[in-house]
Structure formats: structure tokens, C-alpha cells
Amino acid sequence: MPIGQHIDRRGPRGSWRAVALAAIAALALFVAPPRAGAQNRNSSARNDITNRVQRETAINLPSLHPLVERVLPAVVNISSELTEQAQTGLPGDEGDQGNTPFDQFLRRFFENQMPQFHREVMALGSGFIIDPAGYIVTNNHVITDAHKITVILQDNSRHPAKVVGRDPKTDLALLKIAVGDKLPFVRWGDSSKVEVGDWIVAVGNPFGLGGTVTAGIVSALGRDINEGPYDNFIQLDAPINRGNSGGPTFDLQGQVIGINTAIYSPSGGSVGIGFAIPSNTAKDVITQLRTTGYVTRGWLGVAIQSVTPTIASSLGMNAAHPYGALVASVNPGSPAAKAGVKQGDVILEAGGREIKSVHELPIVVADTPPGHPLPLVVLRDGKTAHLVASVGKMPKQPQVAMAEGPEQASGLGLELSAITPKLRERFGIPKDVEGVLVTNVANGSPAGALGIRPGDVIQSIDQRPAKTPPEAAHELKEASAKGNVLLLLNRKGISEFVGLSIGHGSSPG
């Protein structure tokens, strides 16, 4: 049998199987090419989608290098030298074991005879140049108590700086360095156009490392962190650490929209919550510092407080959405007094701006130049009134805008007395404060829960003057029947409205 020949001995059944296998193979030859083509098309489509996403991502998230390259030369490091007296471990400093007369004599002797040792303490911060002549913005706390300030430029050159002006209330300062050549500088942006979610870039000197760039977004606007009377911070999530203070926050156009000032950090490091002074606030302050060396602000002459839900209910306002600034006192002869503002008014608008929270009013007033009119809308006796105040100049130390037997205020746990000369002296009540004196507060009473204490003076009840203890007790009884009472209390010369809810449990307002 020739090599290569094969005889199938399986008969007809084997032949049909062979034919079937051959047919399947032939069909596969025709089907396979289209399947391969579909796979190629799917792969190509996926590649197109990936490329398109990459292109769009590249467009939406460009490199920040061009921006950083442009602004970084204008950002500086600031080194402040402070003198701190070192502890000397003098005799008599051993706690309870060093309290004998002899120990005290030794302490006084050594304090007078031993030289006082001092050590230099360095405070590091950041700043930025706003003028090629060498004017630099930073935080006031970066240079407070410094006897020597050095500005370090990006080329590592060091230059002594002098303080042009400081404003502790906004924590801003303006420095000046003398350099022969014109310096790189950055421009102010408009912080009123900043929106939550906008991308920002922060540059500074964290932990003394030198020029460092971080990026993030605007997390919130108008933050009040109880740092001062004009808090209106921009909240950022860009990593900001110690040493970033005074450094700039830029928008994507390279303009300064904030000055990094504070962080919220239980650990001392960045947790993604930083705060920057808005550029519009800083720009006005820095302009005044450069011109005069100090800041002049508008003054209205009122002491104000928040409108709580309980107080809002007492005034006939919507307790679910309280707003405005409640006037606790009006300084005699102040712009507010001349305009007709009264104690108990709620200032709803100032200068055409709605006062949503109490901290907004000082900002509006401070930004109004002295002598300029400030239109006010106030709520008084359930009705709105329109007033116009001529804003004054804020004084350096503005004043705060402050013989019968005991009477029991039924249901409130208060004991009330007339203000006698002895009681006035005992509780330190100013001579010009009149009303009814609280001489005792029952434990667990509604008044006690509110925080009222002996020595407080009730000046008015539901905005009616409190004249005598019996009258005050009667008015409190009538007012408490309504469920809410609005009291004007004076504590050591400071007046404040408080709202008290009475009924299914009392709660301070």
C-alpha cells in the first residue's frame, strides 16, 4: 500500500461523520472572518471613547504649571524674630514645697539679682508682592511682636522689611522692602465672583519648606469662625498648613481672590478645611494702610445679637427662619440714635443688603465710609420702618451698643427686687441701668435653664419697661401665659435680649 494512503474500514456511518465534520469546518471558514471583524470594530470603538475621555479630561483639567510659573516669583516667605524670656528655674518654684517665707525671699532675691535670659524665636509665614516697588501683603499675626522682619524672595535673597500698617481686626498687614529693581507682583481678583466649587491654587511656605503649591476648590463662602467682628472667610479644601498664613489663594486666571489665614485642625496639620480672607475685604484694608497707615471704619453705635427662633416667635417673626440683627442697646448720641433706631428693633436690611445673620451687619457698616448715608429697614412692633443713618467714624474704644421687698415671679422661679444703692453696689450695677433686679433663681426653673442669675437686671418684658417688682411679676405672669417671653436683661452694663419658651419644657433662646 502506497505510503500516505488510508482506507476507511468503518463503512457508510464513518463516511457520513466525515462529511459532517467537513461541512462544519467549511462553515467555520465562512463564519470566522465576520466575528473577527466585529471584535476589531468593538476594540476600535473602545479606543475612540478612551481617547475622547482623555482629550476632554486634558481640556477640563489642564496643567497648573503655566499659572504657577507666572505667579510664584511674587510669593515670598516671611521670617519674624521675636524675643521670648526663658524660664530660669529660680528657687521657690517647687510648688507646694517652696511656699515658706524664706523661699519667697529667695525667689525675689534671685529675680532681682540674676540676669534675665532671652532667646530668639522665629515665626515663619508667607506673603505676596502687590506692587513692583516692594509692597507686600501678609497676616498681622505673622509679624505681631516682631522686632525684626525679613522677606525672602524666590531667588533666596533676603531683605529687611518695615511695617507700613497693621489691622488686627481683619488680621492683615502691609510691609515694604527696598529693592533697586522692580519686583514681580500679582493683581487682586474679585472675590464677589467666587463660587462654591471653583478651582483655586494656594501658594505659601508651609512648615518653613519654602514655596509650595497646593490646589483644591472653594468649599464654602461667608464663614464666621469667631476670629473677629468682620469674619467673612472663604473656606478652601486645598491643603494649607502652618507657615501658609499670609500667602495668596489664586483663581485659575492667576488673580488673588483670598489671603490664607486660618485652618481647622484638631491635629495641627491640614485636614482639608482652610480659611482665606476675601480679596475684596483685603483690598480696601490694604489701600487704607498704604495711604494712612491705619484703617478707618464706619460706626453705627448699636450693640446687636442674633435672632433666635424663640425671640423670633416673641416678635411675631417666622420662628422657622429667623434672620436679622436684634438691637440690644443704642449708644446715646450715636448715628443709630440720631436715625431713630430703638432698642428692640430688628435690623432686616442695611445699605440695600439683607441681613441674614447678625455678623453681616458689622461688615456692612464697617465698609460704609464715615459721613455716608446708610439706609436701614427695621422691624418694630410687627411693622417695618425705613430709616437712614449717617455713618460715623468708629471710635478707638466704642462703647457697648448698656426699696421694696422681693417679689416672686410665678412659674419662672425668679425672685425680684427693686434696685437699692446697696444692691447696686453689691452686684456692680452701673448707675444708668434701671429696671428690676433678680435676687434669686430657683434650681431647675425655666429662668435657671435660660441662664438668668442673681444680679441680672430685667429692663423690659416683651419690650415694655420693667419698673417695679410687682408690676414685673404681673407682666411676666401674663407674658408666660402666651408661651413665649422676650426679656431684655442687663448684666454688669451689657444689655441682651433673651427669649424664653414656657410650656412643655423651657429652652433658652
Give the active site residue among 191, 245, 460, 480: 245
- Return the bridge partners of 503, or none: none
Half-sphere exposure of 178 (CA within 13 A, CB side): 2
Return all residues near 500 (Cβ < 8 A) that are at least 6 apart.
310, 412, 446, 447, 450, 484, 485, 486, 487, 506, 508, 509
Which of 215, 219, 220 is CA-nearest to residue 200? 215
Q: How far apart are CA 71 and CA 203, in angstroms?
A: 9
> What is the CA 87 to chain-centroid distance, rounded?
35
Burial of 466 (C-beta count, 10 Å sphere; 0-12/13-18/19+): buried
Among 79, 80, 126, 171, the active-site one is 171
Point out the catalytic residue in the list 141, 231, 237, 270.
141
**141 assigned to active site:** yes
Q: Residue holding cell 518653613?
A: 208
The Cα 295–Cα 287 span in angstroms is: 9
Residue 89 has, within 13 A of its CA and on its CB side, a CA count of 0
| DSSP summary character for residue 87 | P
The Cβ of residue 419 has, within 10 Å, a number of other Cβ atoms equal to 17
According to DSSP, the residues that pair with 305 across neighbouring strands are 326
Residue 245 known to be catalytic? yes
Residue 360 Cα to chain centre, angstroms:
12
d(CA 160, CA 393) in angstroms, rounded, equals 34
**Contacts made by residues 102-108, CB under 8 angstroms, sequence distance 24+:** none
* Residues forming the active site: 141, 171, 245
